[in-house]
Amino acid sequence: MRFDHDFLGREALEVEKAAPRRVLRTLVWDAEDVADVYASLFRPGEAYEYMDMPRDQRGFMWADRVTRAGQTVGVATSRGYSYWFRQMLSLSTLDVAASELGTELTVHWGRPGGRQKEIRAVVAAAPYKQDRSRGDLRPR
């Protein structure tokens, strides 16, 4: 963002840019926890909320609560399965204190008031794939 001109809200944005409260990161969802969501579809009783693959195509965005030690630290959005990385990934807006790469967090998958699955997730960089090449897509 450039601040080379005047605009409404400029002062507030300058303060936020100097000391952001939240940052954008990628969350890498735990494969076993994700598999358990799908496995619940084949078990008696209430299933977890269905996860479209590779991502939801219905034109709306999920916003799942992200916690650390029971405290809300952010929101996960834009969940999708990457065939190339063989991982379920999402973008997440996280409190700065919970955003260090490698931090383990919990995504609460499912509708509030319904059955929810706590899915372990690890904080990674956003964008997840750091270069723009079309070569080897495996993470290093």
Residue 23 backbone phi and psi in degrees, to 5: -135, 160
pLDDT tens digits, one per residue of 26-76: 999 999 999 999 999 999 999 999 998 887 766 677 899 999 999 999 999
First to last CA, the chain: 30
Strand partners, 94: 23, 74
Q: How far apart are CA 97 and CA 73, in angstroms?
A: 8
pTM for this prediction: 0.85
Q: Where are the domains of the chain?
A: 20-124
**Rounded mean pLDDT, 5-15:** 88
Pair of tokens at residue 66: 């992200």
Chain-centroid distance of CA 7 in Å reads 31
CATH number attached to the domain at 20-124:
2.40.30.110
What is the rounded radius of gyration, in angstroms, for the C-alpha atoms of the chain? 17
Pair of tokens at residue 65: 């609560």
For residues 55 and 79, the answer to whether their CB atoms sit within 8 Å is yes
For a pLDDT cut of 90, what percent of the chain falls above it?
A: 63
Length of the chain, please?
140
- For residue 88, the model assigns a pLDDT of 96
